[in-house]
Amino acid sequence: MAAAISNSLSQTQLKFSLVPPQKPLNLKFKHWDSNLGRGKFQSISAKCCLNLPLKLKSPVGRSLSSVLQNEPHCFYDAVSVELNRIAEDRDAAFARFDLSLGSSEASLHRVVRIAKLKEEECQVAVEDVLYMIILYNFSEFKVPLAPSLSKCLYNGRLEILPSKDWELESIHSLEVLEMVREHLSIVLGWKVGSSVTVNWSTTKVRRHHLSQVYQASILYGYFLKSASLRYRLEQSLPPTHQQISFGSWSPPPEFQSCGFENVFHGNMFNPRSRTLSQVSRRPRMKEANLRCYVTGFDVQTMEECAKLKSEEAAELIEKHCLALFGNSNAENNDMILTSLSSLKRLVLEAVAFGCFLWDAEQCVNSTYKLKDRY
């Protein structure tokens, strides 16, 4: 199973915590200074659309940002309108290209260039839509994204306030939360019930290493969302179907008509898909928990759950992490002073980001076909 995870994430060269990473954060804590006032550190704005690490680059993104701040109840309606408009623009550009076939070389060259520019413009807009859907999901739990770390550094020390631990943990079901906490323990050495003194003790971490842990945690959250939905769906099946592997079995017609077929292939059927804690299932006798279920995955199922489905999602993760941490080159790989509390906040945010990214992909893909990632 560890090999399957490594292969599926080979492009990012990251591992998440189904197995311990080879190089966890080497955290050496010093006693927390009780005179350290939290007021000295920047508190994240209560408005989730302010201080975003990744700036919105398209009019569509800025429009959705305004809707989210002023009319959040209309957000998904606005998303639907914008996605349809983007899809129409892209289709119109491709239609003009098809009509130009057989035209003069100069005319064809111009149409191809326009179609390419339109496709790039649409991709930027769609990435902004994905980002705003993720922001909307965070806002539902009253959690703002951490701003660029440079805005949270004071005299070389990083603190992210408020921590929002309870809100970030409430996103997940108890079974998923158990695996998230295991991930925290592996990558940070965090333990349930850690004292205030331990949580606010000083530690050092390299910026590049912290960026890697954040990216791996996004992918882990994405994996958990996909795996959890498979788990819930399998539990809802009649007993006669439960021992049949997903790779060799297709859901019955009544499941296909409801869109359940997509879940078997890593897709969600509802554009407004619910969070992990909201996925329901029919009552049945107690079975193995989620962690045991996941450890029983074959290689194919593991890869299907772990692999990002779209190029746009992969691009968004890269851009978000770059905006959050900055370039991770040798010149920008400074040692950061921080606390276990702030590190935990970042990892919990990243896991939630991955869960919400999975939702956002399915929402967008229902209207605008994203680029498949092979």
Rounded Cα gap, residues 287 and 270, in angstroms: 26
The DSSP annotation for 109-130 comes to: HHHHHHHHHHHHHHHHHHHHHH
Residue type, 354: G
pLDDT band at 287 (very low <50, low <70, confident <90, very high): low
SS3 161: strand
Q: Angle CA(216)–CA(172)–CA(69) in degrees, nearest 5?
A: 85
> What are 164's two structure tokens?
């929002």
| Chain centroid offset of residue 180 CA | 14
User: So what's the pLDDT on residue 119?
Assistant: 86
pLDDT band at 73 (very low <50, low <70, confident <90, very high): very high
User: So what's the pLDDT on residue 107?
Assistant: 65
pLDDT band at 302 (very low <50, low <70, confident <90, very high): confident
User: So what's the pLDDT on residue 286?
Assistant: 46
Rounded Cα gap, residues 361 and 170, in angstroms: 22
Residue type, 215: Q
200-209 residue pLDDT tens: 788 899 989 9
As a whole number, the mean pLDDT across the chain is 76
**111-141 CB burial, b ≥16 within 10 A, e <16:** beeebeebeebbbbbbbbbbbbbbbbbbbeb
Rounded Cα gap, residues 38 and 26, in angstroms: 25
6-35 residue pLDDT tens: 444 444 444 444 433 434 555 544 443 434
User: So what's the pLDDT on residue 168?
Assistant: 95
User: So what's the pLDDT on residue 108?
Assistant: 66
214-249 residue pLDDT tens: 999 999 999 999 999 988 888 887 665 555 444 433
281-286 contact pairs (CB < 8 A, 24+): 281/232, 281/233, 281/235, 281/236, 282/235, 282/236, 284/235, 284/236
How many CB atoms are located within 10 Å of the residue 213 CB?
23
In the predicted structure, residue 210 carries a pLDDT above the cut 60 = yes
User: So what's the pLDDT on residue 267?
Assistant: 37
In the predicted structure, residue 47 carries a pLDDT above the cut 60 = no
Of 145, 216, 151, nearest to 180 by C-alpha is 216
Rounded Cα gap, residues 68 and 75, in angstroms: 6
Rounded Cα gap, residues 217 and 16, in angstroms: 7
User: So what's the pLDDT on residue 362?
Assistant: 94
Give the least confident one: 62-76, 112-126, 154-168, 256-270.
256-270
Most confident of 38-42, 49-53, 333-337: 333-337
> What are 40's two structure tokens?
């000295």
In the predicted structure, residue 137 carries a pLDDT above the cut 70 = yes
Strands 157-158 and 153-154: antiparallel
User: So what's the pLDDT on residue 253?
Assistant: 42
Task: State phi, psi for 354 to the nearest 5 degrees.
Answer: -65, -40
If you average pLDDT over residues 134-145, what whole number do you get? 95
User: So what's the pLDDT on residue 43?
Assistant: 35
Give the least confident one: 49-53, 287-291, 292-296.
49-53
Tell me if 61 sits within 8 A of 131, measured CB to CB: yes
| Chain centroid offset of residue 363 CA | 14
pLDDT band at 182 (very low <50, low <70, confident <90, very high): very high
The contacts of residue 202 (CB under 8 Å, 6+ apart) are 29, 30, 31, 32, 33, 157, 337, 338, 339
Per domain, the residue ranges of the chain are 1-31+39-44+146-374, 48-145
**220-245 CB burial, b ≥16 within 10 A, e <16:** bbbbbbbbbbbbbbbbbbeeeeeeee
User: So what's the pLDDT on residue 7?
Assistant: 45
Rounded Cα gap, residues 321 and 353, in angstroms: 11
Tell me if 342 sits within 8 A of 190, measured CB to CB: no
If you average pLDDT over residues 211-215, what whole number do you get? 94
